[in-house]
Structure 1
Amino acid sequence: MNGLTAFLEKYFVPVAAKIGSQKHLVALRDAFISTMPITMAGSIAVLLNAFFRDFPTDWGWTKFIEVMQPVVDINGYVYNGTLAIVSIIFAFSLGYNLSKVYNVDRLAGGLVSLVAFVMNLTVTVSLDTVTGALKAADANFDPSSLPSEFAGIYGFFNMGQVNGTGLFTAMIFGFLSTIIYAKLMLRKITIKMPESVPPAVSKAFAAIIPALIALYVVGIIDWAFFKITNMDVISWISKSIQEPLLDLSQGYGAVLLVTFLVQLLWFFGIHGPNVLAPVLESLWGTAQLQNISAAQDKAELPFEWVRGSFDSYVWMGGSGGTIVLIIALLIFSKRADSRAVAKLSLGPGIFNINEPVMFGLPIVLNTIYLIPFIVAPLVMVTIAYFATTLGIVSPVKIAVVG
């Protein structure tokens, strides 16, 4: 056992530590974490509507639904401003956090990333289509009677691309545009203003050239891609990259491997979910957002295993399901030091914070705990995975904080 630990410390831990500190992956991780207040607000809105609309509908409580309709409508507003546009929110967050690790203007970086993503959205209905439909419905319709706000409108964005469907596009073009912007800022390819100019104005002018170049690069890519393939970039990414990866994430092997790696990293004191956050959030997190959107629309859930599935069934109390260990220590342990650590760890453990027991017991680098710490979550994820895929329990459709 000591030999295995030494081998892993020598060859595995350094690689994991480098991955965990790689600045682009750190920015991606922090971008997902930064959106948590928004995603949780949207998830709560969906959860409340499940109790005020969905379940009562199944039970035939029509009067209750009528009374609660104002609450349902308010929850709909919250959802539309959060999870329904989560890709837009994430795009800004990614640009902001990338600019942070490059130490350039964060607000400008966030805006560049946001605009780069919006440039990829497709137009679903043109003004000509709208007027054509109105003429078909009423032969006497006069297009000039439309409100002035419609004048010059080319079309409307496809709002189905700004929820979880657009996350991969937001990642790819967020990285591309923000890195170009940051590199140019660091090379001082900027407009320099006199020192007498207020700092806010000076920073804004300094970002003009880097932002302009970054966005034109994205625009050229979008234009060339459509000319060559006759297909928009965001649809191609969704079909060719996002959907295959999401399908792959639903396999038992992928779920088991991620669970194993999280436990192994934690054994060496490396925060497994943080290191693997780019994978967990971009794959299972995206799947979770699509499940939440489907639940809001009362549609069939597209995915069986999502990000919240790990927290609900495998990492309750923190990675390794340590809340169970804490309870066992409090009930059965006769060692004063172990019981003291368990008492201190119980409160945080209820909220999935398990650092006190990980480092206080300790579990980290304690070969006595190595096998149960790794094997127990593998057993739990196996039971939960097959219980979900066999239809014994429903897939997770509400965000769970882990």
Structure 2
Amino acid sequence: MESEKFNKFVGILNKFAAVVNNQKYIIGIKNTFATLLPVIMAGAFATLFSSVVFSPEIGLAQVESLSFLAQFKPIADVINYFTMNFLTIYVVFVLGHEIGKLNKLKGVFPGVVAVISYLVMNPSFINFVTEDGTSLEIRNVLSRQYTNPEGLFLGMFMAVLSIELYTWLGNQDRLKIKMPDSVPEAVSNSFSSLIPTIFTITLSATFGFIIHFVTGMYASQIIYSLVQKPLEGLIQGLPGILLLMFVAQVFWVVGIHGMQMVKPIREPLLLAAIAANTAAFQAGEAVPNIVTMPYWDIYMTFGGSGATLGLLISIFLVSKRADYRKIAKMSFIPGLFNINEP
């Protein structure tokens, strides 16, 4: 009886896992962050070199014989700025492109539509107060809070929503501008996507206008306050990070890749935490986040999913079974790099 209940439970989890892993938005999000990991790491390394090597206050450049290194600091700073502080824009573009591919759309244009659809949801001005108390409105600029990780969740939402709308409009024959066969394919495709593009961008801007008109707040502020910030706070606490790991292990117990199941929740928050830490450190402020992707890799999955490095060491110490020891020998070196699924 107990075995039947357990098998039923396993069956339910397997069905749920299959639905999640085959869900195109989950696939798109996972592919997006896998694609952008080099960008995030480039920004992190730029911050490292800016502080540890090129800084004349705390880096190697403070040594008199190495003081020439300080002149290279602007290089690292500009790399950091255009990687970490534009992360949301890159995520929106790549996610729009990924959803477009899953919707059988060709080329990278869906990524462009996604970026524009996200940007028109945000204000194009900044209110600035001078030292003497004068309030100024600077127009035709985009505040950093809409390009850095604060805008991440709205950006992902708009990437998905805009490309789904763009795809649906593009499938309506009556909205297509058809050109003669003699017209080059690139030009014909451009005219075919003209009306869907205009409608998608216009509806996105109108949606943002209505939200601001009704609430007095911009959509990015609402999403960040109600969704992203609470999730960031939850995952930065011990109960939240343990709950996420517990959910992953429940799936592992029944033979489902638990890390892949929690990845769409984990990576946007933990990679954004890296970007927020890097930006704060670069600005000379206190680093706000303890739990980041490196924290997860080092303390939560040491040796790979399930923290199996200790298991391998125990096999070397006490196990007499040849098959266990053979697997342990093959697994140990990859395990040092947190790889153990194979």
CA shift in 2, pair 1:64/1:285, >3 Å:
farther
Gaps of 5+ in 2: none
CA shift in 2, pair 1:58/1:197, >3 Å:
closer
Give TM-score, length-normalised by structure 1. 0.75
- Matched residue, 1:104: 105
* Alpha-carbon shift at residue 162 of structure 1 (Å): 0.8
Q: Is contact 1:56-1:62 (8 Å) kept?
A: no
* Alpha-carbon distance in 2 for matches of 1:30, 1:297: 31
In the alignment, does 2:165 pair up with 1:184? no
* Alpha-carbon distance in 2 for matches of 1:272, 1:166: 27
* Alpha-carbon shift at residue 61 of structure 1 (Å): 4.0
- Matched residue, 2:255: 269
CA shift in 2, pair 1:55/1:10, >3 Å:
farther
- Matched residue, 2:212: 226
Cα offsets for 1:207-238 (capped at 9, x unmatched): 22222111111110112222222322222322
214, 221, 225: which one aligns with 1:239:
225
* Alpha-carbon shift at residue 40 of structure 1 (Å): 1.2
- Matched residue, 2:281: 295
Q: Which amino acid aligns with 1:83?
A: M
In the alignment, does 2:313 pair up with 1:327? yes
Cα offsets for 1:77-126 (capped at 9, x unmatched): 21122112101100101101111111113412111111112223333448
Percentage identity across aligned positions? 29
* Alpha-carbon shift at residue 5 of structure 1 (Å): 4.6
- Matched residue, 2:20: 19
* Alpha-carbon shift at residue 303 of structure 1 (Å): 2.2
CA shift in 2, pair 1:64/1:234, >3 Å:
farther
- Matched residue, 1:157: 142
* Alpha-carbon distance in 2 for matches of 1:69, 1:222: 44
Q: Is contact 1:17-1:270 (8 Å) kept?
A: no
* Alpha-carbon distance in 2 for matches of 1:4, 1:70: 67
Within 5 Å, which residues of 2 pair with 1:300-319? 300-319=286-305
Q: Is contact 2:53-2:59 (8 Å) kept?
A: no
- Matched residue, 1:284: 270
Cα offsets for 1:269-288 (capped at 9, x unmatched): 33222222221123333233
* Alpha-carbon shift at residue 170 of structure 1 (Å): 0.5
Q: Is contact 2:61-2:67 (8 Å) kept?
A: no
Q: Which amino acid aligns with 2:101?
A: K
Helix, strand or coil: the match of 2:108? helix
Kindly report the root-mean-square deviation, in angstroms, between the aligned alpha carbons of the 2 structures.
2.9
- Matched residue, 2:333: 347
CA shift in 2, pair 1:340/1:58, >3 Å:
same
* Alpha-carbon distance in 1 for matches of 2:177, 2:327: 58
Q: Is contact 2:54-2:60 (8 Å) kept?
A: no
Helix, strand or coil: the match of 1:313? helix
Q: Is contact 1:97-1:106 (8 Å) kept?
A: no
CA shift in 2, pair 1:9/1:241, >3 Å:
closer
* Alpha-carbon shift at residue 67 of structure 1 (Å): 3.3
Give TM-score, length-normalised by structure 2. 0.87
Deviates more, 1:207-216 or 1:86-95: 207-216
Q: Is contact 1:30-1:97 (8 Å) kept?
A: yes
Gaps of 5+ in 1: 137-152, 357-402
- Matched residue, 2:53: 52
CA shift in 2, pair 1:200/1:344, >3 Å:
farther
Q: Which amino acid aligns with 2:37?
A: M
Q: Is contact 1:32-1:281 (8 Å) kept?
A: yes
* Alpha-carbon distance in 2 for matches of 1:340, 1:215: 58
- Matched residue, 1:166: 151
Helix, strand or coil: the match of 2:313? helix
Deviates more, 1:156-165 or 1:194-203: 194-203
Aligned length: 335
